């Protein structure tokens, strides 16, 4: 089976933006309904969360890559679990105080909100990326077939 072409920076940015925009479109109305707060208020919070998450993702993975290069460890299952745990812990440190301040709730309530979001994002991430990979594979195959037919 042929490997699909490498993802360009443009595609990676598009992937990240689509992921975040769909998540905001799902989370903002759901949170507004669950918390009985205005949609605009929760929409602004989810956009802030999304921005923090994207920035943290870039910074964290940059730092993690540097640590791997310096310490020369392999990304086995244990390291991937540590990676995911540290990433989520960093998000909690950043997002819980933001949610508490923005929504005028306690840190414990904000932590519970964040746990709820994590429970949403785990299956959402799997579903989004799986769907993206299937659609991308179809697109690459169609593009490859068109190119092959044009060279004949």
Is residue 142 situated within a structural domain? no
Instruction: Print pLDDT tens along the chain (152 aa).
Output: 455 667 888 988 899 899 999 999 999 999 999 999 999 999 999 999 999 999 998 899 899 889 999 999 888 889 888 988 999 999 999 999 999 999 999 999 999 999 999 999 989 998 998 999 899 989 988 888 887 777 76
For tokens 């044009």, what's the residue? 150
Q: What is the rounded CA–CA span in Å between residue 131 and residue 92?
A: 27
Q: What is the DSSP string of 42-65?
A: HHHHHHHHHHHHHHHHHHHHHHHH
What pLDDT is stored for residue 3 in this prediction?
Answer: 57
Is 3 inside any structural domain?
Answer: no
Tally of domains within the chain = 1
Residues 6+ apart with CB under 8 A from 81: none
Residue 1 located in a structural domain = no
Q: Are 128 and 20 in contact (CB under 8 A)?
A: no
Contact 24, 47 (CB under 8 A): yes
Query: Containing domain of residue 77, as a range?
Result: 16-130
Residue 5: what pLDDT? 67
Write down the pLDDT at residue 4: 61
Assess contact for 43 and 26: CB atoms under 8 A: no
45 falls within a domain: yes
In a domain, 60, yes or no: yes
* Token pair in block for residue 5: 């072409």
11 found inside a domain: no
> How far is residue 45 CA from its own chain's centroid?
16
Task: Kindly write down the DSSP assignment for every residue of 72-130, as one continuous string.
Answer: T----HHHHHHHHHHHHHHHHHHHHHHHHHHHT--HHHHHHHHHHHHHHHHHHHHHHHH
Residue 152 lies in a domain: no
Note whether residue 5 is domain-resident. Answer: no
Full-prediction pTM beyond 0.85?
A: no
């Amino acid at each position: 089976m042929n490997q699909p072409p490498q993802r360009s920076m443009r595609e990676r940015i598009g992937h990240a933006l689509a992921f975040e925009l769909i998540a905001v479109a799902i989370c903002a109305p759901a949170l507004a309904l669950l918390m009985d707060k205005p949609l605009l208020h929760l929409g602004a919070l989810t956009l802030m969360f999304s921005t923090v998450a994207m920035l943290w993702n870039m910074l964290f993975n940059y730092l993690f890559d540097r640590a791997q290069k310096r310490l020369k460890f392999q990304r086995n299952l244990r390291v991937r679990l540590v990676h995911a745990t540290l990433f989520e812990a960093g998000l909690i440190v950043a997002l819980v105080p933001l949610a508490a301040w923005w929504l005028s709730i306690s840190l414990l309530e904000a932590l519970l909100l964040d746990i709820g979001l994590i429970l949403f994002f785990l299956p959402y991430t799997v579903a989004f990326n799986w769907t993206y990979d299937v659609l991308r594979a179809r697109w690459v195959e169609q593009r490859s077939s068109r190119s092959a037919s044009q060279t004949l």
